C-alpha cells in the first residue's frame, strides 16, 4: 500500500499516540486531532487521504465529524470505538463509513481495515464516475434525438440526414453534438 496522509481523531491521548505510532511505522504520514471539531478543521486545511475517527469525543462526536468531513470532500473514513452497540452501528451505517472498528484494535486489524477501506472507496468513486458519465451520455443522446426531430420536421430531413447534419455542424464549429443540439433546441423555443 502506498504511503497515505492519515488524520486520526481520538480524545484519549494514549490511544491516539498508539494509533499514530502504528500508522507511522507502516509508512504513513499522520496528523492527530484530540476532538471532532479539530478533525473537521484539519481535514479541510490539510487534505488527508483517509480519516480515522473515534466515535465518543467531547464536543463534536465522531459521527457528526464524519458527516461534516465527507460533506466537505468525500474520502475514506474509518470509525474506531469502544462501543459496539446496535444503535451506534446503525447510525454509522447511515454515513459514508468504510470501516467500523471496536477498541482495542490491534495493528494487523487496523492496517487490514485501512487497506480494504481505501480499496473499497476507490472502487466506489470509480463506480460513481462511471454512473455520472453514463447519465451524461444519456442526457446528451436525449438532447440530440430532440434536435434531430426538429431538423427532420423543419427541414424535411430523414433521421439519418438530420444526424449527419448535426455531426457536420459540430465538426465545422468544433463543438460537441450536444452543444449544437442544445443551440438548435433553444432556437425553437
Three-state SS letters, 11-31: CCHHHHHHHHHHHHHCCCEEE
In a 10 Å sphere around its CB, with 0-12 CB exposed, 13-18 middle and 19+ buried, how is residue 175 labelled?
middle
Specify the pLDDT at position 41.
97
Evaluate if pTM is beyond 0.95: no
Q: Where in the chain is the domain with CATH 3.40.50.2300?
A: 5-105
Residue 59 or residue 23, greater confidence: 23
Is pLDDT of 112 > 80? yes
For the stretch 123-176, pLDDT in tens is: 999 999 999 999 999 999 999 999 999 999 999 999 999 999 999 999 999 999
Specify the pLDDT at position 85.
84
Specify the pLDDT at position 83.
79
What integer best gives the mean pLDDT of the chain? 94
Helices (H), the chain: 13-25, 36-46, 62-72, 86-93, 107-155, 159-173, 177-188
User: Degrees (nearest 5) of the Cα angle 43, 49, 51?
Assistant: 55
Specify the pLDDT at position 55.
94
Topology annotation, domain 130-188: Arc Repressor Mutant, subunit A (1.10.10)
CB atoms within 10 A of CB 64: 17
Topology annotation, domain 5-105: Rossmann fold (3.40.50)
Copy the grid coordinates of residue 39. Answer: 478533525
For the stretch 79-107, pLDDT in tens is: 999 877 888 888 999 999 999 999 999 99
> First CA to last CA across the chain, in angstroms?
55
Q: Where in the chain is the domain with CATH 1.10.10.10?
A: 130-188
CA atoms within 13 A on the CB side of 42: 23
- Whole-number Å distance between alpha carbons of 103 and 82: 5
Specify the pLDDT at position 42.
97
CB atoms within 10 A of CB 77: 25
Amino acid at each position: 500500500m502506498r504511503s497515505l496522509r492519515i488524520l486520526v481523531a481520538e480524545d484519549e491521548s494514549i490511544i491516539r499516540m498508539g494509533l499514530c505510532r502504528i500508522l507511522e511505522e507502516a509508512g504513513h504520514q499522520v496528523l492527530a486531532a484530540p476532538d471532532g471539531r479539530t478533525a473537521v478543521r484539519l481535514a479541510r486545511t490539510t487534505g488527508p487521504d483517509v480519516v480515522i475517527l473515534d466515535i465518543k469525543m467531547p464536543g463534536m462526536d465522531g459521527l457528526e465529524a464524519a458527516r461534516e468531513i465527507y460533506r466537505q470532500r468525500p474520502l475514506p473514513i474509518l470509525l474506531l470505538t469502544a462501543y459496539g452497540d446496535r444503535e451506534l452501528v446503525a447510525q454509522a451505517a447511515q454515513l459514508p463509513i468504510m470501516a467500523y472498528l471496536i477498541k482495542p484494535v490491534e495493528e494487523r486489524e487496523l492496517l487490514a481495515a485501512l487497506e480494504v477501506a481505501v480499496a473499497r472507496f476507490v472502487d466506489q468513486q470509480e463506480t460513481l464516475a462511471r454512473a455520472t458519465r453514463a447519465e451524461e451520455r444519456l442526457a446528451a443522446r436525449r438532447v440530440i434525438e430532440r434536435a434531430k426531430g426538429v431538423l427532420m420536421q423543419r427541414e424535411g430531413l430523414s433521421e439519418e440526414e438530420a444526424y449527419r447534419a448535426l455531426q457536420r455542424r459540430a465538426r465545422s464549429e468544433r463543438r460537441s453534438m450536444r452543444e449544437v443540439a442544445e443551440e438548435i433546441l433553444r432556437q425553437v423555443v
